[in-house]
Amino acid sequence: MSNPLLNIPLLPPFTQLQPEQVEPAIAKLIGDCQGQLQRGLENPGWESTLQSLEQVQDQLNRAFSPISHLNSVLSGEWRAPYEAALAQVTAYWTEQGQNRELYEVYQQLAASPEFVSWPQPQKKSVELGLRDFELSGVGLEGEARERFAANSKRLAELSSQFANNVLDATNAWTWHTEDKADLTGLPETAIAAAKSAANTKGKNGWLITLEGPSYLAVMTHAENRELRRLVHTAFVSRASEVGPNAGEFDNSGVMESILALRAEQAQLLGMANYAELSLASKMAPDCEGVLEFLNDLAKRAKPAAEREMAELRLFASEEYKLEELQPWDIAWVAEKLKQQRYAISQEELRPYFPYAKVLEGLFAVVEKLFGVAVQEDTTVETWHKDVQFFWLYRNGERIAGFYLDAFAREKKRGGAWMDTVATRRQGEEGLQLPIAYLVCNFSPAVGDMPSLLTHYEVTTLFHEFGHGLHHMLTQIAIAAVSGINGVAWDAVEMPSQFLENWCWQPEAIAMISSHYQTGEPLPAELLEKMLAAKNFQSAMFTVRQLEFAIFDFRLHASEEVMETQKIQQLMSEVRTEVAVVPVAKENRFQHGFSHIFAGGYAAGYYSYKWAEVLSADAFSLFEEKGIFDSATGESFLHSILEQGGSRDALDLFVEFRGRKPDVDALLRHSGIEQLELNISPA
């Protein structure tokens, strides 16, 4: 029986993929890449070396993509083969990153007289390649070279282990009751989901889990304060040495090892710390500039956050006789205050945002902005019955496609993300279309009740689709700078945050909302309340994001050995400086901080705020011209989305906006216009 991973088509045949196919396929494909590299080095040149290598490496990438993806969305039997394949792939890329003969080909191409007249994407791919060789230790000798390679392999293993521990800890804890009164206050959608979760486990009654929809419903709505305490404690102590599953999935040692290895990688490359290494491929100029940006924003946002927290405490005392707010009270009291002040809640809005309508409206918004039509294709194989597949068309021509896995389920990694199936590139068989995965964790339909989204979940869907558009609408056909490839990490969040803005525009809201039973539009009164409440506790949200960003950056800028106790100490120090909400003694946020320990955001979590400056300022042009102004939409498409990583992010922004970024739009959108920041991504 042939192995489908050896000749993976544009759309993976998910129903044919089996875990036992992984290791032999990846070994064979890596062998093909190594053989092609040797042939390419015998006859060095752009086409004979770089393009021919891109062709075989694309086969490897497109085989590894569904393996990695299935590990994230199904876990279980895919975990071991994924980890084995990850080790093989990491070793291959590390070896190539240190291949001096290939490095010399890049150098020769960059130094050739014809290089200056090359197309920009081609030149940029060589320039980025040279940078990446240097950051991969191509200049290292002997033991240092071997050590760098061994560290790279071990870091990949540890990142996977960190993510596994978080997922296992999330799945390990549940709370069961057969008394519905325990769930007083929870919305009917959440109660139905808890009933379904219990049934799935063969139990009567209701089951609360730590999956996002269940956790948030309890923390925001449960009148049962003890239940809120139990769920909060279990959630914030996941994968740590404390809490209900203390030590069982503990990430303490994993974090220590990751930080030590990252620090050593930076030192081997002659850098002071890992933060410096991280910034070598980002927009931000240096460590001082990042910390100045974050600290200045924190210093100016914290007074507003303290006022918001004081209001919350006063309200809790006067209305609920809660003289001391505990961490598990914050979201619940905030929801009560929001309802009193604006007479609105996410649950009141939910019936007006049925998933199908939101999706239809999202596609309509994108079509008006960028001239792109989206059509579902129900014939495409997927990995789960709830997964959908869509094609994108422009002027009647198929240009891209994406899978959408929208709903939470057991063994699926939490959160939301976009990942690549295939990259747009010019290959031997012609132009390869870009294909994406879009993954969310919304509450699924239960019985006759369709999936109904909170407005927060609506913005999450728009956010991830913004990432998807960046990948799918590219016009670049060289893999290294196509789509999100080659884009500075602190600019990569710009298109995703940018698209979120339409979730707050009345004209767009009319396109994405209607009552799931009656089809009636969102009433004007509710819309006005929703918009009025947009910036409710926005300063508290801002300082929370800054708390994570400052912690991450200082953690990776430290030249100390960061043991678990010191990591916790740093977290506490940053909270003292920035945070305004109380923290449970069991809180081990860092043990579940997958963005920096299992994702690409190490010394880069600041990117969310950095890119928010760009996205808010970009959207301000639509505010001036009209939110569906076709010329402005075309300009954003051509200057940002189509260009991928072929040009520097700042240059592309200036081309679109006509000037460097200005922070004013971000502050205005956040409702904290009075702040005056002296720093910008420029």
* Helix, strand, coil in percent for the chain, rounding step 5: 60, 10, 30
Joined together, the tokens standing for residue 43 give 């006859």
> Which one-letter amino acid corresponds to residue 523?
P
User: Is residue 50 a contact partner of residue 105, using CB atoms and an 8 Å limit?
Assistant: yes
Number of helices and strands in the chain (H, E)? 26, 9
**Beta strand extents in 199-327 (DSSP E only):** 206-209
Give the list of residues 6+ apart from residue 492 with CB closer than 8 angstroms, or none.
467, 470, 484, 607, 611
CA distance 301 to 549: 14
User: Is residue 65 a contact partner of residue 419, using CB atoms and an 8 Å limit?
Assistant: yes
Q: What is the H or E stretch that residue 39 is in? A: helix 22-42
Q: Determine whether 223 is an active site residue.
A: no
Of 340, 343, 346, the closest CA to residue 315 belongs to: 340
Residue 239 backbone class (left: φ over 0; alpha: ψ -120 to 50; beta: rest): left
Joined together, the tokens standing for residue 470 give 């960046």
Three-state DSSP state, 544: helix
User: Is residue 189 a contact partner of residue 449, using CB atoms and an 8 Å limit?
Assistant: yes
CA distance 660 to 674: 21
Joined together, the tokens standing for residue 514 give 């209607």
Q: What is the dihedral of CA 225, 230, 232, 233, to 10 degrees?
A: 130
Residue of 256, 464, 500, 612 with catalytic role: 464
Beta strands 397-407 and 435-442: pairing type? Answer: parallel
Q: How far is CA 345 from the centre of its chain?
A: 26
Catalytic residues: 464
